[in-house]
Amino acid sequence: MTVTWGKQHPDMDDQGNLKADALLNPAERDLNRTLSDPAAREHFVNQVAREQRELPFEVQRYVQGRNYPGAPAEGYRVYEQERAWALQEWGRRQGADRVVTDADVSRMSLQEYDHYFDERGQPREGVLLWRTSRSQRLDDGMDSASQSEIQNIRGRAR
């Protein structure tokens, strides 16, 4: 057994041999190892299902109930690819060239953001922004009574 600083190296088994998955891509290897635990797998599947429920119904219908064979990380990668394809295909049917979710926005570089959104933060021509529960309404700090009063004043000015 290889012990470093009092702990066994995660890529070594109890006999000190390199595990079979040690040479895989680290993200893929870690996901496979995590999903070998039933509780972690259930939590992960519930997270994926929650994210999927926030997509357009047609996208949900396309990906739900499909079987993605292979190692868990491989199946998840294929699932993500098919989900992304279905979302873009749904967007094309809505007349958009590109669908961007708020989750995509949170991972974008500034250059990507400028490509898809104008200087006012509105989607550019051909871009459809799909909002999920991650979207938050910006709060200007004004209490609801003051907001109501301003709306009433605007209504009287017309």
For residue 8, count other CB atoms closer than 10 A to its CB: 13
- 38 falls within a domain: yes
For position 143, what pLDDT does the model report?
Answer: 73
Residue 136: per-residue pLDDT: 60
**31 and 77 both lie in a single domain:** yes
Do 69 and 121 reside in the same domain of the chain? no
pLDDT of residue 28: 81
Is 60 exceeded by the pLDDT of residue 157? no
Average pLDDT over residues 121-133: 92
∠ CA(125), CA(128), CA(129), 5° rounding? 125
Counting the structural domains of the chain, the total is 2
Q: Domain range holding 84?
A: 16-94
Whether 27 maps to a domain, the answer reads yes
Per-residue model confidence as pLDDT tens digits over 85-109? 999 999 999 999 999 998 899 899 9
Residue 80 sits in the same domain as residue 132: no
pLDDT tens per residue, range 27-83: 787 888 788 889 999 999 999 999 999 999 999 999 988 888 888 888 999 999 999
Task: Specify the pLDDT at position 35.
Answer: 85
Q: With 60 as the cut, is the pLDDT of residue 12 above it?
A: yes
Whether 56 and 120 map to the same domain: the answer is no
What string of DSSP letters covers 69-126?
Answer: -SSHHHHHHHHHHHHHHHHHHHHHHTT-SEEEEHHHHHH--HHHHHHHB-TTSPBPTT
Same domain, 73 and 23: yes
Please indicate, yes or no, whether residues 85 and 34 belong to a single structural domain of this protein. yes
Q: Pick the residue with more confidence: 102 or 154? A: 102
Q: What is the mean pLDDT of residues 132-147?
A: 69
- For residue 11, being part of any structural domain is answered with no
Predicted pLDDT of residue 6: 62
Give the residues across from 129 on adjacent strands.
Answer: 100
Residues 90 and 100 in one domain: no
Residues 87 and 100 reside in one and the same domain: no
Whether 37 is covered by a domain: the verdict is: yes
CA distance 138 to 12: 49
Instruction: Categorize the per-residue pLDDT at 147 as very low, low, confident or very high, splitting at 50, 70 and 90.
Output: confident
**Residues 79, 23 within the same domain:** yes
